[in-house]
Structure 1
């Protein structure tokens, strides 16, 4: 299964980006191939197209499944497992954000909350306590915002994102209406 030059460029780029996002290059390339494939692929297809060992592909597919970025598909008359990515890019974006939050943000929130329950001992620790409290408040504010935005329909979210800095103008205008300058 030879890759077109465009597909190869995309797959290679995703491999490089994957290593920056916390997954290995192989997993990034496998995801890119599945993302671009019009039909589900089985592990042998992936291994052949990318020149990876079958065991490496199996491990990568397990990782992609743990991230909920690929779905297992069965086909009638075929015992092999096939895989595909969600078709809607907004669904992929939401899944990525949920998984990043679960793996990175939530443990940080838990650590900060637990740490801040302990009373600071001394001036240096009081300063550290204050800084951690600032960080906790910022992360809680952003995750609260994320929860609200996450529930918006994709069309509304797209409109909000397209507004960009116009949101500030709306907020400034609303503030003036309320008598806040």
Structure 2
């Protein structure tokens, strides 16, 4: 197998079992938050997050091209990666629901420098990032971001993981 080198989408075989295979891959649950050009908060749930480089500190996220958050990520203001704690399933579900008013009646605050929306009460950490590169990746955009600051959350030391289409809390209770 060779790596794809173009921006052309790779064709998938029908009924390949891809979604089942990816459901078997456990992933940490995060909520990516940003501000629109009008200053309103937006965000989405993601398990498509990876640590990319220690020096410089970089991470990568996958973002659906049809989502409301992608334009806010690409406008240069940056974003916050809120790493949900073990009790954050309700927050994850809310930010995964396209019809939900995601920030309504939810405890959140703004970061001082750029006003990014932070979910510290629901997170172990919030990682403040600046986009340094974006690449097309099928129906998603791959975002490479520089870590600018790490803010401890108040949600505790547990982790929320998604595996086999279910949520699991890991770590100390």
After TM superposition, the score normalised by the length of structure 1 is: 0.22
Higher relative contact order (CA 8 A, sep 6+): 2
* Greater Cα radius of gyration, structure 1 or 2: 1
